[in-house]
Amino acid sequence: MGIIQRHNGQGLSKYKGAKGSVRFPLEKPLPYQLVSKIVEFRVAENIKQAEGKLKKKQ
């Protein structure tokens, strides 16, 4: 499931995108708060995934 589907209604629904991507229009200012939320979400997701891999190795 892509990030847009997971966070529909949190500001992402007005942007186009595919699985794992969001396309911001060039003619509008970049929504820095939204980008920050996306980055924070992805970092937490990656940490969780890495911790799961470490547990499997032990």
| pLDDT top residue among 1 and 11 | 11
50 half-sphere exposure, CB direction, 13 A CA radius: 6
CA distance 37 to 31: 10
CA distance 36 to 30: 11
CB 20 within 8 A of CB 3: yes
Name the β-bridge partners of 16.
23
Model pTM? 0.68
Q: What is the pLDDT of residues 2-55, one digit of tens each?
A: 555 565 556 777 888 777 788 899 999 999 988 888 888 889 889 999 988 877
- pLDDT given for residue 29 in this prediction: 94
